[in-house]
Amino acid sequence: LAKTTQPISMDSYEGQEVNITCSHNNIATNDYITWYQQFPSQGPRFIIQGYKTKVTNEVASLFIPADRKSSTLSLPRVSLSDTAVYYCLVGESPDKLIFGTGTRLQVFP
């Protein structure tokens, strides 16, 4: 199972764009890159998933370079409600996902 490495914490201000990078050097050919968000005392919530290049949905974008050894979650114009822990996971199916340490994002007014 591919291991991921993320910054432990990040700070931002409301309205700024936040980019969280995840390193996954031993990602396998069939692995997808998936990001989850977790608020305190709640279950994680799926944000976005990608395999290569760029994926965008209504809440975030995911950038994946050609070698797929890293990925960057981009949150446009964050608000206070985006304060949470963000997890990057790699795996080929839901039952093969391992949560890493995650990045604790704090958004200030």
Count interface residues toward other proteins (CB under 8 A). Answer: 23
What is the three-state SS of the chain?
CCCCECCCEEEEECCCCEEEEEECCCCCCCCEEEEEEECCCCCCEEEEEECCEEEECCCCEEEECCCCCEEEEEECCCCHHHCEEEEEEEECCHHHCCCCCCEEEEEEC
Using CB under 8 A, which of the segments 16-24, 28-36, 58-66, 72-80 binds other proteins?
Answer: 28-36
Does 97 interact with other proteins (rule: CB under 8 A)? yes
Choosing from 44, 61, 63, 74, the residue that interacts with other proteins (CB under 8 A) is 44
Q: Which of 13, 53, 98, 106 binds other proteins (CB under 8 A)?
A: 98
- Nearest approach in angstroms of CB 79 to other proteins is 22
Residue 78 is which amino acid?
V
- The residue ranges that bind other proteins (CB under 8 A) are 30, 32, 34, 41-46, 49, 87, 89, 91-95, 97-102
